[in-house]
Amino acid sequence: MPLVVQKFGGTSVADSQKILAAARKAVRAHQTGNQVVMVVSAMGKNTDTLIGLAQEVNERPPAREMDMLLSTGEQVSVALMAMAIDSLGYKAVSLTGAQIGIKTDSSHTKARIHSISTDRIKTLLNEGNIVIAAGFQGIDDNLNITTLGRGGSDTTAVALSAVLGADQCEIYTDVDGVYTTDPRVLPEACLVRQVCYDEMLELASLGAGVLHSRSVEFGKKFNVPIHVRSSLSDVPGSIIVDDSETAALAVSGAALTKDEALISVFDVPDVPGTIFQIFAPIADKKITVDMIVQNVAENGNTAVSFTVPRNEVRDAIDAIQPSVEKMGGRIGLVDENVSKVSVVGLGMAEQTGVANRMFQTLANAAVNMEIITTSEIKISALVKREQALNALRTVHSEFALDKVESKEPTQLPSRDTSNQVNVAEVIERLQRDTGMESLMIDDISLDDSQSRITLSKVPNAPGIAAQLFDRIAAAGVFVDMIVQSYASSQIADITFTMPREQFDNAITVANQVCEDFGCDKVDFKKTIAKLSVSGVGLRSHTGVAIGMFQALSDANINIETMNTSEVRVNVIVDGDSGQTGIQCLRDAFRHSLR
C-alpha cells in the first residue's frame, strides 16, 4: 500500500478550524488507498510565546529546559489532530518524538537525528490508523527530550519519509510552493514548479522561509522527492528533486537573510593554524558561521571577518575571545545591523557576468556592499539592514525573477525505487554507525590552474566592485571566486581568482583600477591551488570547514582566502601546497566520503 507523509506547519494548524482542514486532507489521502503519517508543528505562534515566557523568567535559560518547554507545543497539536480525525470517523494515534523512537544527539535546541525506529509506526499503520507524529523533537540516550531547531518539523517529516520508504513527502505551508523569493516579503515573487536539491539547499539556508535546510539535506541524501503545497488550497505546488526546470537560468532565486551579525577580528598572525584557532571554539558550540572572508596579510598579520545569526553573536564572541587574545589579536568590530542578500542558480556556473550585473544593479540603487562572497551557484552580499529589502527587490527585478514562467508538471514524481535497496542500506549503516545526519562527502578536488589578485584598501562605496568586474569582463577574463573582505567602513580588500592563462589581462586591469580608484596596492599570486570539499549541507555541518582548517594547519599549509556554501567549501592556498593539501583533506574526510 502506498505511504504518504504529510507535514503541517504552525500556520496550517493555528486554530481548531485549520486543524480540522488539515485532518480532512489526511483523511482524503487515506480514502484513496494510502497509508498516512502526519507530522505536525506547534500551533501558530505557540513556540514564540513559549520562548517569550522563558525569557521573562531567565534571560539565558538552560538549553535542556528550553527543550522541555518547547516540545510541549507539538504535543498539544498532535493530540488535537488525532481528536479531529476521530471526529471525522477515522482511526488516529498521536505520538511524541520519544514514543516514535527518534533518537538524537544531546545538542539541546539544535539536536541532530541519529536513528528512527519504524516498528511502532508500521504496526499502527497496518492496523488502519493515521499516525500523527510530533515534529521538531526527539530523545537522546539519557532519555532527555531534545529539539531539532526552528523549522525542525520539516526535518522530522523528510527523515520519516526516508526511513519508512514513503512514496510522497508533502510539506503543507501557508504559501503555494517554492517562489523565486519569499512572497511574504516581495509580492512580485513567482512560483517555481520544480527546483533541484542544490538550489533549494542554498535558498533554504539563506532564509527563503518555505523549507528548513536540513530537511532538504535529507531529501537529497536519501532520494526523497519533497512536494511543497498550500494548506489553504489544492493547487499542485512545487516539487524538489534532482533536476530543475530553471537550470538554464543564470539566477533562479533570490533570498534575504535579515538578522545577521558581522564579527571582525584584526591583527592575528598570518600563519598556518590561525583560522582553525578562531573557528574551532565556534564549531564546538554548533554556531553556524556563514560568510567568512580573510584580508591579505600586512606586516605578518591578517584580519578575518565572518557572519553568524544575530541571536548567536554573543555566544560567538564569548567562544573566540580567549583564542584571539592568545594570538595577540583583537575583536575590532561587531555589527548587528546587517543583512545578507543572495542570488542562487545552477546556470551561474555556465554563464559569465552574473556577479557584474548584481554589483551594478546594487550600485545603481545606492546600496553599498560590506562583504561579498561567491560560490559556484551563489553570490552573497552583506548590506546594512535598512537597505536590505530594497537590495532584494533590486536584484530580483534585475534577473527578471518577477517574470519567471513555470509550467505545471504533468505528473508529480513519486519516489524513485530503482535504487531503494541502496538507500535502505545507507540509512541502516548510518543509523548503526554515525547517525542519519552525519556528514556525507561527494567529492574532494584540487584545481591548480588558477591565479589570485587582490586589490588592497579599495574605497568602500557603491559601484566600485561593479566597475572593477565590468572592466575585468571586458578584458575577456573569466572570474571564479570573488571575495570582498572588511577592512573598515571606508575601505575594503577585493580578491578574485581567474584561469592562469588570463592572468596577464587581469593584472593589467587591476593595476589600472588601483590607480584610478586610489587603492593602496595590488597583491597577486600567479600560482595558487583551490581545494574544494563538496557534499550535502556543508554549512550546517559546522565541523566541515573546521575539519579542513585543522587538516591544513596540521600539514603547515596557510589558507589565503575561502568561501562556503551549503554544497561546497573552497579554500585558496599556495600553489606549491596543492598536492599535499588534497591528500591531507582526503585523509581527514575518508570516513565521510560516499
CA distance 504 to 520: 20
The whole-number pLDDT of residue 122 equals 96
Q: Which has more pLDDT, 246 or 348? A: 348
Please give the angle made by the CA atoms of 314, 270 and 260, to the nearest 5 degrees: 25
Please provide the DSSP assignment of 276-331 as one string.
HHHHHHHHHTTPPP--EEEPPPBTTEEEEEEEEEGGGHHHHHHHHHHHHHHTT-EE
| Residues 317-328: tens digit of each pLDDT | 999 999 999 999
Please provide the DSSP assignment of 7-34 as one string.
EE-GGGGSSHHHHHHHHHHHHHHHHTT-
Task: Output 318-326 pairs: Cβ under 8 A, ≥24 positions apart.
Answer: 319/281, 319/282, 319/284, 319/285, 319/287, 320/263, 320/265, 320/278, 320/279, 320/281, 320/282, 322/281, 323/277, 323/278, 323/280, 323/281, 324/265, 324/268, 324/278, 326/277
Q: Hey, is 359 helix, strand or coil?
A: helix
| Residues 393-448: tens digit of each pLDDT | 999 999 999 988 766 654 555 555 555 556 677 677 667 766 777 767 888 999 99
Amino acid present at 467: Q
Please state, rounded to an integer, the average pLDDT across all residues of the chain: 88
Please give the angle made by the CA atoms of 296, 300 and 302, to the nearest 5 degrees: 40
Count of Cβ atoms closer than 10 Å to residue 438 Cβ: 17
The whole-number pLDDT of residue 212 equals 80
b vs e for 128-160, b when ≥16 Cβ sit within 10 Å of the residue's Cβ? Answer: ebbbbbbbbbbbbeeebbbbbbebbbbbbbbbb
Answer for the pair 113, 102: CB distance below 8 angstroms, yes or no: yes
| Residues 196-231: tens digit of each pLDDT | 888 888 887 766 667 888 888 888 888 888 999 988
The whole-number pLDDT of residue 193 equals 86
Count of Cβ atoms closer than 10 Å to residue 278 Cβ: 24
| Residues 22-32: tens digit of each pLDDT | 999 999 999 99
The whole-number pLDDT of residue 31 equals 96
Q: Is 234 exposed, middle or buried (0-12, 13-18, 19+ CB in 10 A)?
A: exposed
Answer for the pair 542, 564: CB distance below 8 angstroms, yes or no: no
Q: Which has more pLDDT, 550 or 461? A: 550
Q: Hey, is 467 helix, strand or coil?
A: helix
CA distance 308 to 288: 6
Which DSSP helix (H) or strand (E) runs through 553?
helix 543-554
Residue 312's contacts (CB-CB under 8 Å, 6 or more residues apart) are 261, 287, 288
Cell 487515506 identifies what position?
Answer: 30
Q: Which has more pLDDT, 420 or 365? A: 365
The whole-number pLDDT of residue 103 equals 96
DSSP code for 258: E
Q: Is the pLDDT of residue 524 over 90?
A: yes
Q: Which has more pLDDT, 83 or 206? A: 83
Strand 102-104 vs strand 113-116: parallel, antiparallel, or unpaired? Answer: antiparallel
* Overall average pLDDT of the 155-169 stretch: 93
| Residues 95-122: tens digit of each pLDDT | 999 999 999 999 999 899 999 999 999 9
At residue 542 the predicted structure's pLDDT band, cuts being 50, 70 and 90, is low
At residue 582 the predicted structure's pLDDT band, cuts being 50, 70 and 90, is very high
Q: Is 418 exposed, middle or buried (0-12, 13-18, 19+ CB in 10 A)?
A: exposed
Report the first-to-last Cα separation within the chain, whole angstroms: 31
Nearest to 485 by CA among 496, 475, 476, 474: 496
Nearest to 202 by CA among 178, 224, 184: 178
| Residues 458-490: tens digit of each pLDDT | 888 888 888 899 999 899 998 999 998 876 768
CA distance 485 to 492: 6
The whole-number pLDDT of residue 354 equals 87
Strand 3-8 vs strand 168-173: parallel, antiparallel, or unpaired? Answer: parallel
The whole-number pLDDT of residue 87 equals 97
At residue 494 the predicted structure's pLDDT band, cuts being 50, 70 and 90, is very high
The whole-number pLDDT of residue 232 equals 80
The whole-number pLDDT of residue 407 equals 61
Answer for the pair 266, 332: CB distance below 8 angstroms, yes or no: yes
Q: What are the percentages of helix, strand and coil residues in the chain, rounded to 5?
A: 40, 30, 30
Percent residues over pLDDT 70 in the chain: 92
Q: Which has more pLDDT, 438 or 277? A: 277
Answer for the pair 264, 305: CB distance below 8 angstroms, yes or no: yes
pTM as predicted? 0.81
Q: Residue 76: CA atoms inside 13 Å, Cβ hemisphere, count?
A: 16
Alpha helices in 365-461 (DSSP H): 385-398, 420-432
CA distance 522 to 494: 10
Q: Calculate the alpha carbon distances from 400 to 177, 250, 371, 405 in Å.
A: 19, 11, 24, 10
Q: Calculate the alpha carbon distances from 505 to 256, 475, 556 in Å.
A: 35, 6, 32
The whole-number pLDDT of residue 410 equals 43
The whole-number pLDDT of residue 291 equals 85
The whole-number pLDDT of residue 517 equals 87
Nearest to 71 by CA among 109, 102, 104, 45: 109
